[in-house]
Copies of this chain bind each other. A is one copy, B any other.
Amino acid sequence: MENLVSMKDLSVEQITAILEQAKAFREGATSSLKNKYTMSNLFFEPSTRTKMSFEVAERKLGLTVIPFESGFSSTLKGETLYDTVKVLEAIGIDALVVRHEQNNFFEELVGKTKVAIINGGDGTGNHPTQSLLDIFTIWEEFGTVENKTITIVGDIAHSRVAKSNADALSRLGAKVQFVCPPEWQGEFNCVHDFDEVIESSDVVMLLRVQHERHEVSGIFSKEDYHQTYGLTVERERKMKDGAIIMHPAPFNRDVEIASELVECDRSRIFKQMENGVYVRMAITEMILKGRE
C-alpha cells in the first residue's frame, strides 16, 4: 500500500490487516518502523478530530511532524496543490495527510510525487480513515462485521462517510441500508421511514447535518429533522439488545441525536474517536513500511 486515497483501493485482505494491526496498537504494540520519517498534515478545511487524531498517531509512531498552516501558506499566492506537494517532497517530507474541498484532489498527485498521500477527506468524495475506524469499531464490538445490519441515517448524497462505508462494509459481508429524506438520497436506494428499520439494526450510524455545506433550514427545522430522522430517546428504546449508536462527529445535539444519548450505554461515539488513533497508526505505519 503506497497511498490511501479511497476504500475502493483496499482489498478485503488489506482491510483485515489494518484492523488486526489497529488492535495490536490498541493492546500496546509500538512502532516497528526502522527508519526516521517526516510527515505533515495539510488540512485545507477545518478539522479538530481527524487532524488531531493523526497528530497523536504520528507522534505515537515516533515520526517527525512538520506544521502546515493552510491559511498562511503560499496557496494564498496562488500556488497549486501539486506544486505545494512537490515543494514538500523536495524539503524531505515522506508522507502527507491531505484534506481538501475538491473531490478527488489526489488524482493530480498519486503517481506524480514520491510523497505518500493519505486522504483525510476530499469534498463530498472519500474519507477512508473514517471508514476504517468505523469498521474497526463494529469489528471490535461484535467480533465480526459479517451479517451485521448497519443503518446509515442522514445526508447520504453529500456524505463522504456514507460512500466510503457503504462499499467496504458490503464487501465485508455486512447488510447496509440507508435512511434519509428524499432530498438527500442521491444515487442511493434509501428508506424514508426511520422507524421501519430501527428494530432490526445492529448499528445505527448517524451522519452529521452539514449546516456549512447547505442550508438545512430551507428543508427542515432542526426540531423537524430530529423528530423524523434523528435518534430520539423514543427511537433508542426500540433498538435491540446489544445494538450500538455511531456518529462520525462533530454531532449536532438534538438534531441527529438527542443530547442525552450522546454518552449513553449504546453510544460508541467517543470510542470511535479513540479507535481512530489506532487505525491511523496502523495505516500510516503500513504505508511507511512500504518504503523500507
Give chain A's interface residues, CB within 8 Å of chain B. 38, 40, 43, 46-49, 52-53, 55-56, 59, 64, 66-80, 83-84, 86-93, 211-212, 249-253, 262-263, 270-271, 273-274, 276-277
Assembly CA distance A79 to B38 (angstroms): 31
In the complex, chain B residues whose CB is within 8 Å of the CB of A83: 249-251, 253, 262
In the complex, chain B residues whose CB is within 8 Å of the CB of A90: 270-271, 273-274
In the complex, chain B residues whose CB is within 8 Å of the CB of A75: 48
CB distance from A17 to the nearest CB of B (A): 23
CB distance from A113 to the nearest CB of B (A): 10
Nearest B residue to A208 via CB reads B77
Residue from B74, B78, B274 within 8 A of A91 (CB atoms): B274
B73 adjacent to A48 (CB under 8 Å): yes
B67 adjacent to A67 (CB under 8 Å): yes
Assembly CA distance A276 to B46 (angstroms): 30
A72 adjacent to B46 (CB under 8 Å): yes
Nearest B residue to A44 via CB reads B72
Assembly CA distance A273 to B92 (angstroms): 10
Assembly CA distance A64 to B65 (angstroms): 12
With A71-B71, A252-B78 known to touch, is A91 a contact of B49 (CB < 8 Å)? yes
Can you name 13 A-B pairs with beta carbons within 8 Å?
A46-B72, A46-B74, A46-B77, A48-B74, A48-B75, A49-B74, A49-B87, A56-B92, A76-B212, A77-B212, A83-B253, A89-B270, A91-B274
Assembly CA distance A212 to B250 (angstroms): 31
Assembly CA distance A86 to B88 (angstroms): 32
CB distance from A93 to the nearest CB of B (A): 8
Q: 5 closest Cβ contacts across the A-B interface?
A: A90-B273, A48-B74, A79-B250, A90-B270, A48-B73
With A59-B64, A90-B270, A91-B52 known to touch, is A74 a contact of B277 (CB < 8 Å)? no
CB distance from A223 to the nearest CB of B (A): 16
Nearest B residue to A273 via CB reads B90
Nearest B residue to A65 via CB reads B67
CB distance from A65 to the nearest CB of B (A): 9
CB distance from A256 to the nearest CB of B (A): 12
CB distance from A268 to the nearest CB of B (A): 11
A276 adjacent to B77 (CB under 8 Å): no
In the complex, chain B residues whose CB is within 8 Å of the CB of A91: 49, 52-53, 56, 273-274, 276-277
Assembly CA distance A77 to B213 (angstroms): 10
